[in-house]
Chain A
């Protein structure tokens, strides 16, 4: 069986009900400095989970632990378990690059590859991982760009350089790039913080649309954004998970005082 066939078989097993993540006793360090303390959190499938909290609270570190990107920083270290579909992604013999191939990520700053075209930017994931080319690749690129709500804007200039796009378009291109690998989970690290209000709205609508097919974890500074898009919200403070629950409930009836102070704007 070639790699693409293996992928397809796996997908039929993994896809229908979506993938859940459960984070168990997760600790993370940058060198000596501990950034996350005993995090326990469950991310339900086919939903949007928002991580909120003031700068430096560890929310970005946590999403970077979910696709094993944290450990690529020199000196950084993780302990604990992240169970995806019954399998610990920090378990023995698990290759980080295979994890990252199934758990996609979108970053704070749009980071398209500057020397590549729009098409190439979306095609690179499937090309590297599935060895796709020709018409199957073209279809996949088109579908991903459509899912990311960018197709109409770029279909006539697929071969212009990616950096000729505006910031908001670049971010949707990065989303399309992540979707082209058909990941089970999509991690988004403050995906709108570098965007203007209109682009932000487009990306938010996109997130709401995508949760029908993907499990989404989104880090955000913006509490209104969390309230708008997230099904569940988790509040972090100084590396600790303070409170977690249904978004509506967390914002209207927080259980902890710190949460209430933060969402009512008393600090952060």
Chain B
């Protein structure tokens, strides 16, 4: 009887021990989750903080000008009247220009690098392209100002005007500095970014996909068109967005070649203009506290919002492409 009780209580003890073993909270996961959560909060905090500083410091001009800040052409510290319409226009115009040229060029170059280029040459070219991405923007700016702008002024723009002058893009006085120069410099700056990102994603196309096409008697181009590009398009789009972000925010090089004049928005690429970033870079040295400084910060706020909107649009685009790729039932990769 008593012996039975002893063994029962022992069994119970064992069971409790077993339960404890399965239930024990191991600190590793908890700790790791806490740390990573903290990092995310820091990043969120930085973004929120940036937005807060931009908004709070631009309150004077927001109160004073309201929406007319977006539609006003003058940025005039002498009369204390501020507007950034030309800068918004210039930012979008030069970035669009850069994307229109850099995306096809970059895609073409990366297709060549991945599928047509002899191996040893491929390594050298890829290295050089990555090097291009590492050149400081002030060097691109110097080149733009000292080499590109004079050439555009004397040869490039007159030639365009003579042959394509019927397009509104190529009307007006050739000045060298302006949207065209800035667009070209931006194209060159984002090109290496687009090339290396698309090259990386195209390189990891599954061999099985390429061979599926090859086994059907496809040409090299058909393999790229039907196997590589559908696989890589999401990644390529990601690269393009990175590039767009860089183009929108690029300051130094653009400031050096865009001409920095608050001109009426015009389709003519020859017009000297402004971008939001170059307004800030140009003006903040002389800025005095008050409306002037507030106007500069509001320009920054608008740039922040434009970047935010383009990124949201891009995310949405990527997500819809991914949904399409995964099909209606989704799941299987």
Seen from chain A, the residues whose Cβ lies within 8 Å of a Cβ on chain B are 67, 69, 72, 74, 97-102, 104-105, 107, 109, 111-116, 124-125, 128-129, 160-164, 174, 177-178, 181
- Taking A111-B212, A114-B325, A163-B327 as contacts, is the C-beta distance between A97 and B219 under 8 angstroms? yes
B208 in contact with A163 (CB, 8 Å): no
* Contact flags B131-155 to A (C-beta < 8 A → 1, else 0): 0000000000000000000000000
Contact count band on B: 20 to 34
Q: B216 near A: Cβ within 8 Å? A: yes
Q: Which residue of A lies closest to B218 (CB)?
A: A128
Of B214, B216, B219, B231, the residue contacting A177 (CB under 8 A) is B216
B216 in contact with A69 (CB, 8 Å): no
Give complex CA distance A102, B216 in Å: 9
Give complex CA distance A109, B327 in Å: 19
A129 in contact with B217 (CB, 8 Å): yes
- Stretch with Cβ within 8 A of A (4 or more), from B62-70, B222-230, B299-307: B222-230
- Taking A109-B208, A113-B209, A128-B222 as contacts, is the C-beta distance between A100 and B215 under 8 angstroms? yes
Give complex CA distance A102, B324 in Å: 32
Q: Which residue of A lies closest to B217 (CB)?
A: A101
B216 in contact with A111 (CB, 8 Å): no
Q: Shortest distance in angstroms between B237's beta carbon and chain A's nearest beta carbon?
A: 14
Give the contacts of B272-330 with A (CB-CB under 8 A).
324-329
> Please, which residues of chain B bring their CB within 8 A of the CB of A114?
209, 230-231, 325, 327, 333
A-B Cβ contacts below 8 A, count? 88
B324 in contact with A115 (CB, 8 Å): yes
10 residue pairs A–B, Cβ–Cβ below 8 Å: A69-B211, A101-B216, A104-B215, A111-B211, A112-B212, A113-B212, A124-B226, A125-B216, A128-B218, A164-B328
Give complex CA distance A216, B226 in Å: 27
Q: B332 near A: Cβ within 8 Å? A: yes
Seen from chain B, the residues whose Cβ lies within 8 Å of a Cβ on chain A are 119, 206, 208-219, 222, 226-227, 230-231, 324-329, 332-333
B230 in contact with A113 (CB, 8 Å): yes
A97 in contact with B211 (CB, 8 Å): no
- Taking A111-B209, A181-B217 as contacts, is the C-beta distance between A74 and B119 under 8 angstroms? yes
A69 in contact with B215 (CB, 8 Å): yes
Q: Shortest distance in angstroms between B327's beta carbon and chain A's nearest beta carbon?
A: 3
> Please, which residues of chain A bring their CB within 8 A of the CB of B211?
69, 72, 105, 107, 111
Q: Shortest distance in angstroms between B317's beta carbon and chain A's nearest beta carbon?
A: 15
* Apart from A113-B213, A128-B226, A160-B327, 16 more pairs, CB < 8 Å: A69-B214, A72-B214, A97-B217, A97-B218, A100-B216, A105-B215, A111-B206, A112-B212, A115-B230, A128-B216, A128-B222, A161-B328, A163-B327, A163-B333, A164-B328, A177-B216
- Taking A109-B208, A111-B208, A163-B326 as contacts, is the C-beta distance between A181 and B214 under 8 angstroms? no
Give complex CA distance A175, B213 in Å: 13
Give complex CA distance A107, B214 in Å: 12
A163 in contact with B215 (CB, 8 Å): no
Q: Shortest distance in angstroms between A73's beta carbon and chain B's nearest beta carbon?
A: 8
Give complex CA distance A249, B333 in Å: 43
> Please, which residues of chain A bring their CB within 8 A of the CB of B219?
97
> Please, which residues of chain A bring their CB within 8 A of the CB of B208?
107, 109, 111
Interface centre among B226, B328, B333 (most CB of A within 10 A): B226
Give complex CA distance A101, B226 in Å: 16
Q: Shortest distance in angstroms between A77's beta carbon and chain B's nearest beta carbon?
A: 15
Q: Shortest distance in angstroms between A113's beta carbon and chain B's nearest beta carbon?
A: 7
Q: Which residue of B lies closest to A102 (CB)?
A: B217
B215 in contact with A161 (CB, 8 Å): no
Of A97, A111, A164, the residue contacting B327 (CB under 8 A) is A164
A160 in contact with B326 (CB, 8 Å): no
Give complex CA distance A224, B219 in Å: 38
B327 in contact with A161 (CB, 8 Å): yes
Q: Which residue of B lies closest to A104 (CB)?
A: B215
Q: Shortest distance in angstroms between B166's beta carbon and chain A's nearest beta carbon?
A: 38
> Please, which residues of chain B bring their CB within 8 A of the CB of A164?
327-329, 332
Q: Which residue of A lies closest to B329 (CB)?
A: A164
Q: Shortest distance in angstroms between A131's beta carbon and chain B's nearest beta carbon?
A: 12
> Please, which residues of chain B bring their CB within 8 A of the CB of A100?
214-217
> Please, which residues of chain B bring their CB within 8 A of the CB of A98?
217
Q: Which residue of A lies closest to B216 (CB)?
A: A125
Give complex CA distance A69, B209 in Å: 13
Q: Shortest distance in angstroms between B92's beta carbon and chain A's nearest beta carbon?
A: 31
Give complex CA distance A98, B217 in Å: 6
Q: Which residue of B lies closest to A174 (CB)?
A: B212
Q: Shortest distance in angstroms between B328's beta carbon and chain A's nearest beta carbon?
A: 6
